């Protein structure tokens, strides 16, 4: 890896050209105390720290409270369909590899209706930071159990408690081929969240970040009410994310090497029953991005060369005058 | 040696329909293609139809195994697969039977069949063979039972494979085509692989030719077209693939489905050389989503599918319309509903294309009516989609997709082949939906442009792109999106009428049936019948002038390959009759009592069917 | 003490529309419900409409935060939300402003507002308050600025919460309702939770009542209905949920979506007690798939959704039709296209319901026109789906879903509530598609029956259920599936005409707009206008006799809450005008020049809008 | 658990009442040498061994070569839509818990278009034997790469070789909550296949069985041409499936405790790179089925009781006559 001085200056000694206002449109319309506010702030701070020009960022979302995100972040945005943020992201990524891509989904959005795209986009490993605001509930539609709702969650479609153990998104993603980055953080840990987002942003490939998100309106008690009592553990490693424990001061720190998939799976498997891991679960910087994979096979040429080639193809279907064939 | 050397009667023909059928894997398709290629290069008009078994590897020597090619060759441009087959070469009696069962053979068809089955060990086979042939003869067929395998073995003792080239040789002789041209094609096909294979096939072809010279006292000759300059021959899916390149597309997002997929196969083969990518998505929903994302971000993308895939793309169509993201969706129609008849032709997706999207989602729907149009419609569709920020659905079908036709070689416009993005800063006050209040048109602001940040959404939104729930805003957005169709409509012309502008009967069609309908109309007109035809390419918006044009005929009838109730059936009344799909729309649009003929045979429309429709109608009118 | 005790003028009214609006969370919805409940119990006709903010928790004291209830109370049965509001109680000036912005208030509206904002610290608030009220007064409103918060604090010093019950007390006095009845409801609401809360609310209600007695010199009285026996009041989604139980459903497979979801909430609450299950699937595709699987296997199941979910169910609709599996799909329409106006009313899914499925997929489409019909349509839909082995789409909408209306308490038929499966051996030769050649009807063979093994498929199939690719088989299957609609049509009656059978103008509608249209027509007829109305419940198949019925009017006009081009708009011509959805179908079906009025305000149709349509049309006719 | 003598006789001493013909309709229309023939045979033998009445079995499939299965097996069948066999299976299972359910899908069917239902139906744990005939290709549509196609697979949509590493279905399923049974076998190992299917059939809950399936027409070289060289390992455990190595005589046998999820994940993670595991990867007999979960909350009563209850509900909406309310 060569390091050139301009690069170094650009990356490390940059002055922040942008203010938080440069990333802000209207005041965010989420409820008071909603964890999405914190996530939005963390994204904005992260963008400022990375000195990203707002016009070079594209934010794609699905449908849900969480998916209102692009409307409050001053970047280009596409608020798509419930569950379909990832296919649109794949298209955006293929179209404009030079742009930076942020994809925001809710738990229902990504893990329920969007489950198929979730699996496959992880496998494509497009270059994007993909965050899930997981409040363990369908919030926008006013309280139905989501796949991550803990068993027994009282909701409008499970008024006597939800029936199943929650789906474990971490253990699922850790089974997907071409996985390159998995981290978990929480909306009430602003420092940790920003640090995590920053790592994700700098990662080349698909950085999957699950943000445990408070929804005080429909799930006030989730995550132990986002109190200091929330049973969590911080993952620590020299290549990981530095624990910033915020309110979870007493949460243990455990060593975890994010290059060890099996160790990550073990941690993930016990997340719900045991302690929610916060930090970097898995990292593999060697996986090529989908753009790399695909564009390395694509020929670049000007319109005249293309026209010439198309003429050749058309000629290969010519009849009547076989002598003229190439 | 390339022409019949001893005295035979050569009959001049305007056209002939030739079929070659074998068990799947025996090479009848290759034989058909080779013969068709020779005919094309000799300057004949041409339409080929693939005969495809429904299973991947059906049990051999069954009707389900019949595989091959149907080649219509003529001395004038040919626009459709034609009527009944004049000559069929069958590798076995079951392949032949399958053609009888699909009602494809003329009563006086010439049948050439391998006589080996008459001596087969299996008594059942011997009996079937005899019965089928006797039956055909009784009905007027001219049957040639020939020792094809035996003759082949003289040339290539070990090979059961080369029979197909032997048959090509016979056909070249029968139709007085140039044997050397056949050799050339063999060389093009196998030359790169192995010279030994070339030689073997050349030998078999020559043997077939000579055998035919010795066998047939009458041969045929079909003159070349008047103008054979600068023609190409290809099928509709290849035309769509090449047309997509010509239109400047750089991404095709798809999920495999018959009969659309072969267009993506073609693109997969050469798109990367043009800077393009075929993205095989995890499903059809993702495929359209990827295309929408790409178009929104500035790389021209299309998506290609068939019926069940179209169904899955319904929700995203709504987002495309609402966010005014340009998109071309090609739907290659097959038999429906549901899985239906996956490999067969139908025109059953018209209403779905128009109206599947919940809510009011105005979109453009156009249909190519020939293979040539499959090519040219792609740049047109892209242009409309971008100028109108619209969803354009292109309705092709299995008949166009797999048929092969001659047409004028298109010229390439290099300007469509570059896609440079305007990344200049956006002037202050520019809105992402800066609707012209008259036309509803506006300019898309591509991501990356400084000061232009906006958010696309499927929710109702203001010109600024902001979510809005007020009545006036919703009414405005709907009006602007609808207005674009009216503007597009104002640029359209009333479709040409084939035949006189007035008369007894006007047959209206759309899409791939044009060739058959116009041919039938031409023939009936030649008999003095006052019938004309119209093909409608723009179905949404419909072109102007239809009501007036219809008014000049005593009767207007839509002819389509989709279902309509037969008015004479039990329980069917004029009130509850379900009309064909175009007829349904035309009736609503024009209030003219457009009648219809609609069937779902899974096979292309034949001109003779249309002629008999015309004859019945004319009788009723009189 | 339960009636006004000192001298006031009591004005007798036929009806009044009362609104209560507050910031979300301040309790205006509960106040509205309580007041409405007292009115209902006192025997008034009733229609309530929820006022819902678009965000979950919008910033307080903004127009976006307005939340509450709109209650139309009358002395005769009430079928719709009515016209402009006669009296509004606003918790603050922004809530009031939101109602002004949605054009919902009558010019002479009586406004009751908390005067605390006139003394607020924030000068902007004081200014807004003044301007809004002055403006209203200037336009003719009668404004009462009352010290509501101050008065409440006398009774409940710590509480800012109880204001809503104080207001109910005021309203009970204003409308001369029984205060004790209000107490009863408070007890029903909070009794189980806490007696202290009950007492507090009762005290506040009483205080409001007394305060009103001292404040208003004029009060109102609305007489009860003639016949108040045996009535129930509920919203349309509750009616669908209870109707589903009454129909004998045992499974509801759904995925949450507004405005359909509340029906599933109701079912989730009580379905298990009836042996039923609500399965919240992973997505809408799975939801319909589960329902199809269940019905095919013998347990009656339905699926409920709204626009975007309907779109996702498109492919499975085709399989349902093709495999002739009975299925009822309830679609509660909202504003479209795409995510559109998710909480608002529209009738934009009609064409999608009819024609979304690629290929020819005949299905039944019916629409309830009142909340009462939401209940009764469920057993009807199930019966049709099973007798015809058909897909039945029920089109409700957000207006019915959340509106609340009085109707005759349904009687329960226990026979629909059991589902015993015939598990007897299948007689030899019985076919899974034993189509009656006349009617296309056949009997489903449920799994588990000995000797009945068959395989359902979305491919074309024979009566034996075997895959088949031949023309005749495909034509037969299509014919049989289509014939069933003709048979169903033959059992339908021409829809009743409201008003005379002939005249100047016939207004045709479908679904939830019936109440408003018929009311408008009744009022115009009372003025001597020759206008009648028709509501079409069966849209596929359409009932007989329409053309004839339409022919007796000088003009026929569809009035719908979906988009139509305005004929006077730029570029719009009679040829390219896009009509409303029912009009599109009726024109095709009857060839009558059915005109249309279509708007997409996201709010229920008002009778006065229809009256002005009628007046304009009648003028043009003359 | 009580054991009653009739039960015992019924289960253990039964004579096979049915012949293979009783499970056969028409001759199967797959290609010669297609692995689906073997799978069909194994299913038929397994059904006979289990003495299943054909009318009590329901076979649900999607769309693909593999999904023609129900047409050749004489049971009740539903040949549904591409990717949608599982939702229909859920409905069938909820409707008729007393029937036995077999669901058959292809790799494209289940892992690509059907991916979302795959995840969620595993989580529901419906009572069904779910087999995937994985030929690592889209066969019915004539050769396009599927998610499990090995990188570099020449296909019609990847004429210069497929671009991505294959998706690993085993590692994904092993991350799903409520998982109860995962096994892998191969179409050219009839004994092992039948033994595996038998275990799956007897399992209460969702038994996920991936069958590596030969497609001689489009993927003749997959699985080393289904030759003795195919790199596989047999998993052995007292609670597992007895290795019947067939042609893979030389394949190693390794001990694996199927109750150990983490061990299973480790094996799965290396399957593609290393040796394909054959046998029982994971078993948990404690997970309740979806029917158990749901029907334990459902009240059973006759139509009169239901009518009575419905009347009560209707009354609770009655107005005008408050005295009559319950
Ligand atoms: C196709 C479709 N189905 C359903 C909906 C309704 N819907 C909107 S958001 C949502 C779920 C929201 O939950 P989640 O994704 O967890 O996001 P949250 O609101 O909790 O942030 C649903 C079901 C929709 N808009 N589109
Ligand atoms: C919605 C939809 N999309 C696409 C298709 C076309 N299609 C049929 S089978 C198939 C894939 C077959 O592959 P697989 O599932 O692996 O089954 P196999 O044929 O290999 O057994 C596809 C794409 C379809 N029928 N429906
Ligand atoms: S409902 Fe919950 S998730 Fe939605 S904005 Fe409010 S707090 Fe946030
Ligand atoms: S194509 Fe392959 S999978 Fe399909 S039937 Fe033939 S061998 Fe089997
Ligand atoms: Mg959520
Ligand atoms: Mg496969």
> pLDDT-derived band of residue C158, with 50, 70 and 90 as boundaries?
confident
* Ramachandran region, residue B563 (left: φ > 0; alpha: ψ -120 to 50; beta: rest): beta
The pLDDT tens digits for D170-188 are 999 999 999 999 999 999 9
Lining ligand 3 with CB less than 6 A are: A 30-31, 34, 36, 65, 135, 139, 215-218; C 56-57
Output the domain CATH number for residue B593: 3.40.50.920
Q: Are B85 and B167 members of one domain?
A: yes
Q: Are C278 and C345 members of one domain?
A: yes
- Say if A147 is an interface residue toward chain D (CB within 8 Å): yes
Write out the residues surrounding ion ligand 5, Cβ under 5 A.
Answer: A 106-107, 135
Output the domain CATH number for residue C323: 3.40.50.970
Per-window interface: A 233-272 vs D, CB < 8 A: 261-262, 265-266, 268-269
Reply yes or no: is the peptide bond before residue B259 cis, omega within 30 of 0: yes
Mean per-residue pLDDT, B343-354: 97
Q: How many beta-carbon pairs below 8 A join chains C and D?
A: 213
The pTM for the full model equals 0.96
Lining ligand 1 with CB less than 6 A are: A 63-66, 82, 106-109, 133, 135, 137-141, 146; C 255-257, 284, 308-309, 312, 339
Q: What percent of chain B has pLDDT over 70?
A: 99
With tokens 């598990």, the residue in question is: C423
Q: Is A262 close to D268, i.e. CB distance below 8 A?
A: no
Residue B193: Cβ within 10 Å count: 9
- Say if C339 is an interface residue toward chain B (CB within 8 Å): yes
pLDDT of B610 over the 50 cut: yes
pLDDT of A9 over the 90 cut: no
Domain enclosing residue C349, as ranges: 232-417
Tokens of B23: 């068990």
d(CA B211, CA B168): 12
pLDDT of A6 over the 70 cut: no
Q: What is the pLDDT of residue B6?
A: 57
The pLDDT tens digits for B81-132 are 999 999 999 999 999 999 999 899 999 999 999 999 999 999 999 999 999 9
CA–centroid distance, residue C215 to ligand 3 (Å) = 41
The pLDDT tens digits for D284-321 are 999 999 999 999 999 999 999 999 999 999 999 998 54
Mean pLDDT of chain B: 95
> pLDDT-derived band of residue D240, with 50, 70 and 90 as boundaries?
very high
Q: Is residue B140 part of a domain?
A: yes
**Higher-confidence position of C621 and C373:** C373
Q: What is the pLDDT of residue D324?
A: 38
Q: What percent of chain D has pLDDT over 90?
A: 90
Report the residue of chain D nearest A83, measured CA to CA.
D116
Q: How many domains does chain B have?
A: 3
- Say if A32 is an interface residue toward chain C (CB within 8 Å): yes
pLDDT of B57 over the 80 cut: no
Query: What are φ and ψ of residue A324, in 5° steps?
Result: -80, -10
Q: Are C191 and C254 members of one domain?
A: no
Q: Are C134 and C258 members of one domain?
A: no
Maximal CA-CA distance, chain D: 84
The pLDDT tens digits for C462-500 are 999 999 999 999 999 999 999 999 999 999 999 999 999
Mutation test residue for ligand 3: of C24, C57, C64, the one with most atoms within 8 Å of CB: C57
| Nearest CA among A153, A139, A168, A191 for reference residue A33 | A139
Q: What is the pLDDT of residue B168?
A: 97
d(CA C572, CA C578): 9
How many CA atoms are closer than 13 Å to the CA of B16, on its beta-carbon side? 23
Q: Are B524 and B402 members of one domain?
A: no
The pLDDT tens digits for C520-576 are 999 999 999 999 999 999 999 999 999 999 999 999 999 999 999 999 999 999 999
pLDDT of B2 over the 80 cut: no
Q: Is residue C76 part of a domain?
A: yes
| Nearest CA among C238, C247, C272, C246 for reference residue D301 | C272
d(CA C160, CA C153): 8
pLDDT of A1 over the 80 cut: no
Q: Of C222, C245, C270, which one is at a domain's C-terminal end?
A: C222
Residues B316, B317, B320: CA angle, nearest 5 degrees: 85
Report the residue of chain C nearest B491, measured CA to CA.
C571
Q: Which of A182-191, B53-62, B148-157, B510-519 has the lowest mean pLDDT?
A: B53-62
DSSP one-letter string for B302-333: EEEE-HHHHHHTHHHHHHHHHTT--EEEEEEE
Contact D126, C322 (CB under 8 A): no
- Say if D96 is an interface residue toward chain C (CB within 8 Å): yes
d(CA B420, CA B443): 16
Q: Is A266 close to D262, i.e. CB distance below 8 A?
A: yes
Mean pLDDT of chain C: 95
For residue C414, give the nearest of D84, D303, D317 by CB distance.
D303
Q: Is residue C386 part of a domain?
A: yes
Tokens of B169: 């040789």
The pLDDT tens digits for B390-405 are 999 999 999 999 999 9
pLDDT of B79 over the 50 cut: yes
pLDDT of D11 over the 90 cut: no
The pLDDT tens digits for B173-196 are 999 999 999 999 999 988 888 899
d(CA C490, CA C473): 26
Cα–Cα distance list, A225 to A15, A148, A222, A228, B86 (Å) = 38, 16, 5, 9, 82
Distance of CA C139 to the CA centre of its chain: 32
CA–centroid distance, residue D146 to ligand 6 (Å) = 7
Residue C421: which residues within 8 A CB-CB, separation 6 or more? C298, C446, C448
> pLDDT-derived band of residue D7, with 50, 70 and 90 as boundaries?
low
As a three-state string, the secondary structure of C239-278 is: HHHHHHHHCCCCEEEECCCCCCHHHHHHHHHHHHHHCCEE
> pLDDT-derived band of residue D3, with 50, 70 and 90 as boundaries?
very low
For the purposes of burial, counting CB atoms within 10 Å of the CB of A250, is it exposed (0-12), middle (13-18) or buried (19 or more)? exposed
Contact B325, C280 (CB under 8 A): no
Mean per-residue pLDDT, D206-224: 96
> pLDDT-derived band of residue C441, with 50, 70 and 90 as boundaries?
very high
Q: Is B256 close to D83, i.e. CB distance below 8 A?
A: no
Q: Is residue C482 part of a domain?
A: no
Tokens of B219: 């041969």
> pLDDT-derived band of residue C1, with 50, 70 and 90 as boundaries?
very low
What is the nearest CA distance from B345 to chain A, expressed in angstroms?
Answer: 24
The pLDDT tens digits for D265-290 are 999 998 877 899 999 999 999 999 99
For the purposes of burial, counting CB atoms within 10 Å of the CB of A90, is it exposed (0-12), middle (13-18) or buried (19 or more)? buried
With H, G, I as helix, E, B as strand and everything else as coil, classify residue C522.
Answer: helix
Q: Which helix (H) or strand (E) holds C188?
A: helix C179-190
DSSP A62: -
d(CA A56, CA C176): 64
The residue among A34, A61, A133, A141 with the most chain C CBs within 10 A of its CB, best to mutate, is: A141
| Nearest CA among C329, C321, C338, C322 for reference residue C288 | C329
Lining ligand 2 with CB less than 6 A are: B 255-257, 284, 308-309, 312, 339; D 63-66, 82, 106-109, 133, 135, 137-141, 146
> pLDDT-derived band of residue D30, with 50, 70 and 90 as boundaries?
very high
- Say if C275 is an interface residue toward chain B (CB within 8 Å): no
Mean per-residue pLDDT, B342-369: 98
Q: Which of B161-170, B304-313, D201-210 has the lowest mean pLDDT?
A: B161-170
The pLDDT tens digits for C344-398 are 999 999 999 999 999 999 999 999 999 999 999 999 999 999 999 999 999 999 9
- Say if C511 is an interface residue toward chain B (CB within 8 Å): no
Q: Is residue C444 part of a domain?
A: no
Contact C327, C319 (CB under 8 A): no
Q: What is the pLDDT of residue D325?
A: 35
Q: Are C257 and C309 members of one domain?
A: yes
Q: Of C376, C399, C417, which one is at a domain's C-terminal end?
A: C417
Q: What percent of chain C has pLDDT over 90?
A: 92
How many CA atoms are closer than 13 Å to the CA of C46, on its beta-carbon side? 31
Q: Is D141 close to B282, i.e. CB distance below 8 A?
A: no
Task: Report the relative pairing of strands A181-186 and A276-283 from DSSP bridges.
Answer: antiparallel
Query: What are φ and ψ of residue D158, in 5° steps?
Result: -140, 65
For residue A157, give the nearest of C59, C268, C338 by CB distance.
C268
Q: Are C213 and C358 members of one domain?
A: no
pLDDT of A7 over the 80 cut: no
Q: Is residue B564 part of a domain?
A: yes
Tokens of C419: 């589902």
Q: Is residue B3 part of a domain?
A: no
pLDDT of A8 over the 70 cut: no
Residue C590: Cβ within 10 Å count: 20
For the purposes of burial, counting CB atoms within 10 Å of the CB of C306, is it exposed (0-12), middle (13-18) or buried (19 or more)? buried
With H, G, I as helix, E, B as strand and everything else as coil, classify residue B621.
Answer: helix
Return the bridge partners of C535, or none.
Answer: C509
Chain D neighbors of A268, CB-CB under 8 A: 175
As a three-state string, the secondary structure of chain D is: CCCCHHHHHHHHCCCCCCCHHHHECCCCCCCCCCHHHHHHHHHHHHHHHCCCCHHHEEEEECCCCHHHHHHHECCEEEECCCCCHHHHHHHHHHHCCCCEEEEEEEHHHHHHHCHHHHHHHHHHCCCEEEEEEECCCECCCCCECCCCCCCCCCECCECCCCCCCCCCHHHHHCCCCCCCEEEEEECCCHHHHHHHHHHHHHCCCEEEEEEECCCCCCCCCHHHHHCCCCCEEEEECCCCCCCCCCCCCCCCEEECCCCCHHHHHHHHHCCCCCCEEEEEEEECCCCCCHHHHHHCCCCCCCHHHHHHHHHHHHHHCEECCHHHCC
ipTM for the predicted complex comes to 0.96
Chain B neighbors of A76, CB-CB under 8 A: 447-448, 452-455
Q: Of C222, C242, C263, which one is at a domain's C-terminal end?
A: C222
Q: Are B263 and B212 members of one domain?
A: no
Q: Is residue C459 part of a domain?
A: no
Q: Are C189 and C275 members of one domain?
A: no
Mean per-residue pLDDT, B477-492: 98
Return the bridge partners of B532, or none.
Answer: B506
Q: What percent of chain A has pLDDT over 90?
A: 90
d(CA C330, CA D309): 24
Q: Are B137 and B78 members of one domain?
A: yes
Chain C neighbors of B336, CB-CB under 8 A: 318, 357-361
- Say if C305 is an interface residue toward chain A (CB within 8 Å): no
Q: Which CATH fold would you assign to the domain A12-315?
A: Rossmann fold (3.40.50)
Contact A313, A267 (CB under 8 A): no
Query: What are φ and ψ of residue C99, in 5° steps?
Result: -75, -30
> pLDDT-derived band of residue B161, with 50, 70 and 90 as boundaries?
confident
The pLDDT tens digits for B266-288 are 999 999 999 999 999 999 999 99
As a three-state string, the secondary structure of C18-75 is: EEEEEECCCCHHHHHHHHHHHHHHCCCEEEEEEECCCCCCCCCCCHHHEEEEEEEEEC
Q: What is the pLDDT of residue D323?
A: 40
Q: Are B296 and B212 members of one domain?
A: no
Mean pLDDT of chain A: 93
Q: Are C205 and C257 members of one domain?
A: no
Residue B220: which residues within 8 A CB-CB, separation 6 or more? B10, B11, B12, B13, B16, B174, B175, B176
Alpha-helical segments (H) within C118-162: 123-138, 148-155
**Higher-confidence position of D89 and A10:** D89
> pLDDT-derived band of residue C2, with 50, 70 and 90 as boundaries?
very low
């Amino acid at each position: 890896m060569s390091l050139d001085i301009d690069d170094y200056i650009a990356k490390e000694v940059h002055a922040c050209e942008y203010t938080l206002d440069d990333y802000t449109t209207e005041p965010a319309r989420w409820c008071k105390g909603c964890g999405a506010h914190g996530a939005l702030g963390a994204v904005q701070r992260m963008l400022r720290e990375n000195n990203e020009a707002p016009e070079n960022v594209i934010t794609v979302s699905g449908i849900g409270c969480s998916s209102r995100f692009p409307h409050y972040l001053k970047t280009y945005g596409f608020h798509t369909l419930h569950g379909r943020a990832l296919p649109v992201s794949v298209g955006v990524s293929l179209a404009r590899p030079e742009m930076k891509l942020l994809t925001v989904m809710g738990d229902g959005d990504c893990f329920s209706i969007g489950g198929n795209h979730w699996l496959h986009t992880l496998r494509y490993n497009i270059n994007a930071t993909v965050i899930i605001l997981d409040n363990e509930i369908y919030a926008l539609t006013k309280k139905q159990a989501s796949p991550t709702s803990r068993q027994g969650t009282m909701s409008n479609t499970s008024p006597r408690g939800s029936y199943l153990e929650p789906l474990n998104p971490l253990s699922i993603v850790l089974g997907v081929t071409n996985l390159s980055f998995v981290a978990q953080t929480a909306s009430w840990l602003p420092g940790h969240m920003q640090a995590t987002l920053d790592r994700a942003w700098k990662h080349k490939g698909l950085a999957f970040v699950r943000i445990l998100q408070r929804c005080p309106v429909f799930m006030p008690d989730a995550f132990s009410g986002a109190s200091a009592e929330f049973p969590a553990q911080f993952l620590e490693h020299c290549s990981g994310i530095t624990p910033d424990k915020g309110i979870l001061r007493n949460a243990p720190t455990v060593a975890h090497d994010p290059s060890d998939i099996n160790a990550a799976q073990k941690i993930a498997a016990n997340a719900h029953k045991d302690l929610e891991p916060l930090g970097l679960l898995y990292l593999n910087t060697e996986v090529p991005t989908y753009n790399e994979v695909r564009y390395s096979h694509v020929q670049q040429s000007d319109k005249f060369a293309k026209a010439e080639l198309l003429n050749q193809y058309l000629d290969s279907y010519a009849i009547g005058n076989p002598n003229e064939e190439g | 040696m390339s022409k019949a050397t001893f005295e035979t009667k050569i009959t001049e023909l305007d056209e002939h329909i030739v079929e070659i059928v074998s068990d799947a894997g025996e090479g009848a398709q290759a034989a058909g293609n080779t013969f068709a290629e020779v005919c094309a290069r000799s300057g004949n008009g041409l339409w080929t139809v693939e005969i495809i078994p429904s299973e991947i590897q059906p049990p051999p020597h069954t009707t389900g195994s019949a595989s091959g090619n149907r080649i219509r060759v003529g001395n004038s441009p040919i626009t459709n697969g034609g009527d009944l087959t004049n000559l069929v070469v069958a590798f076995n009696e079951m392949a032949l039977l399958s053609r009888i069962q699909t009602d494809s053979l003329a009563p006086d068809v010439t049948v050439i069949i391998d006589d080996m089955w008459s001596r087969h060990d299996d008594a059942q086979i011997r009996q079937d063979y005899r019965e089928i042939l006797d039956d055909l003869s009784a009905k007027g067929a001219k049957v040639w039972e020939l020792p094809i395998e035996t003759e082949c073995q003289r040339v290539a003792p070990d090979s059961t494979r080369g029979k197909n080239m032997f048959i090509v040789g016979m056909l070249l002789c029968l139709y007085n085509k140039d044997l050397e041209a056949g050799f050339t094609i063999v060389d093009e096909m196998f030359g790169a692989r192995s010279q030994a294979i070339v030689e073997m096939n050349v030998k078999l072809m020559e043997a077939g030719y000579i055998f035919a010279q010795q066998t047939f006292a009458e041969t045929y000759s079909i003159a070349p077209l008047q103008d054979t300059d600068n023609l190409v021959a290809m099928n509709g899916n290849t035309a769509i693939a090449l047309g997509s390149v010509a239109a400047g597309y750089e991404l095709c997002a798809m999920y495999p489905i018959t009969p659309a997929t072969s267009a993506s196969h073609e693109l997969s083969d050469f798109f990367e050389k043009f800077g393009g990518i075929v993205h095989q998505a995890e499903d059809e929903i993702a495929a359209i989503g990827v295309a929408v994302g790409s178009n929104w971000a500035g790389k021209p993308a299309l998506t290609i599918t068939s019926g069940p895939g179209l169904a899955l793309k319904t929700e995203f169509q709504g987002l495309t319309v609402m966010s005014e993201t340009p998109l071309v969706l090609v739907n290659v129609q097959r038999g429906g509903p549901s899985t239906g008849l996956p490999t067969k032709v139908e025109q059953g997706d018209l209403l779905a294309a128009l109206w599947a999207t919940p809510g009011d989602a105005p979109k453009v729907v156009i249909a190519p009516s020939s293979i040539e149009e499959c090519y040219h419609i792609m740049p047109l569709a892209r242009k409309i989609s971008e100028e109108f920020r619209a969803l354009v659905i292109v309705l092709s079908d299995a008949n166009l997709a797999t048929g092969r036709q001659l047409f004028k070689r298109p010229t390439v416009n290099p300007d469509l082949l570059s896609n440079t993005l305007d990344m200049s800063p956006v002037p202050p006050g520019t809105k992402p939906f800066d609707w012209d209040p008259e036309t509803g048109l506006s300019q898309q602001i591509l991501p990356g442009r400084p000061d232009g940040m906006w958010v696309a959404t499927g929710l109702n939104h203001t010109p600024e792109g902001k979510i809005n729930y007020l009545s006036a805003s919703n009414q405005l957005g709907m009006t602007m999106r609808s207005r674009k169709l009216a503007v597009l409509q104002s640029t359209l012309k009333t479709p040409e009428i084939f035949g006189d502008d007035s008369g007894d009967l006007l047959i209206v069609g759309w899409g791939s049936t044009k060739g058959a309908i116009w041919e039938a109309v031409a023939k009936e007109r030649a008999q003095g019948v006052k019938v004309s035809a119209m093909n409608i390419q723009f179905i949404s918006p419909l072109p102007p002038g239809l009501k007036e044009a219809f008014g000049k005929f005593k009767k207007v009838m839509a002819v389509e390959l989709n279902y309509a109730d037969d008015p004479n059936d039990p329980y069917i009344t004029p009130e509850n009759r379900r009309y064909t799909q175009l007829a349904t729309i035309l009736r609503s649009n024009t209030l003219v009592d457009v009648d219809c003929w609609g069937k779902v045979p899974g096979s292309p429309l034949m001109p003779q069917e249309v002629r008999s429709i015309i004859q019945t109608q004319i009788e009723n009118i009189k």
